[in-house]
Amino acid sequence: ELKVEQNPLFLSMQEGKNYTIYCNYSTTSDRLYWYRQDPGKSLESLFVLLSNGAVKQEGRLMASLDTKARLSTLHITAAVHDLSATYFCAVVMTTDSWGKLQFGAGTQVVVTP
Amino acid sequence: NAGVTQTPKFQVLKTGQSMTLQCAQDMNHEYMSWYRQDPGMGLRLIHYSVGAGITDQGEVPNGYNVSRSTTEDFPLRLLSAAPSQTSVYFCASSYGRAPGETQYFGPGTRLLVL
């Protein structure tokens, strides 16, 4: 059974500082996704990571994947208020060709001045 | 393209009532799925479909039925609603098997079962 753990579950950020969200998973996977959800809204795809060492960046967000450690990180650089949201990682098992997503519990991010 | 659409946006049911949550996509996606979101638990897969006429169970299928008669539509039926089914339901779709395929999520349906 694939288990996905995110930490922290809640993150209070100060504007201008850097932070990291961690996503650990329990079995082999070659696909990992990061999503963002604003309150009361749907999920928005941020990144898809497909291989060991993959790194993707968009604005102040950078995601990386270490398949050997079964770990992905989402790094936030110089946090701003607009990044306040809940961030989810989701993993697909290597044996699953259709891509059923197993989600972490989410990390609620609040950015304050 | 409208993307993934869901109706209704919000629904209140009494225990024992049945209803159907609608999901449609206009992107010719093969893969469609239903998730429920509960506080502190992320999203959990209920049922999924890999094409018209083909469905399978996810992690939490009990109390829900699905069918896929067309590529575009993937309704979720609650046979006899229970308070434990109070949740936010999301439908998602993607092209298919290729690694890196992003799943696109609908706006969600908030369901309250009294």
Q: Cα distance from B97 to chain A (closest Cα, Å)?
A: 5
Q: Which of B34, B56, B102 to mutate to test the interface with A (most CBs of A within 10 A)?
A: B102
Q: How far apart are CA B22 and CA A107, in angstroms?
A: 29
Q: How far apart are CA B94 and CA B92, in angstroms?
A: 7
Chain B hits for A100, Cβ within 8 Å: 33, 45, 48, 58
- Could you tell me how many residues make up chain B? 114
Q: Concatenated DSSP letters for A50-68?
A: -STT-EEEETTEEEEEETT
Q: Do residue A99 and residue B90 have CB atoms under 8 angstroms apart?
A: no
Q: Do residue B41 and residue A101 have CB atoms under 8 angstroms apart?
A: no
pLDDT band with cut points at 50, 70 and 90 for residue B98: low
pLDDT along chain A (113 residues), means of 10: 93 97 91 94 94 93 95 97 96 76 94 92
Place of tokens 């949550």: B21
The average pLDDT across B24-50 equals 92
Per residue in B77-87, pLDDT (tens digit) is 999 999 999 99
Per residue in A22-36, pLDDT (tens digit) is 999 998 887 899 999
Are B43 and B34 a contacting pair, CB within 8 Å?
Answer: no
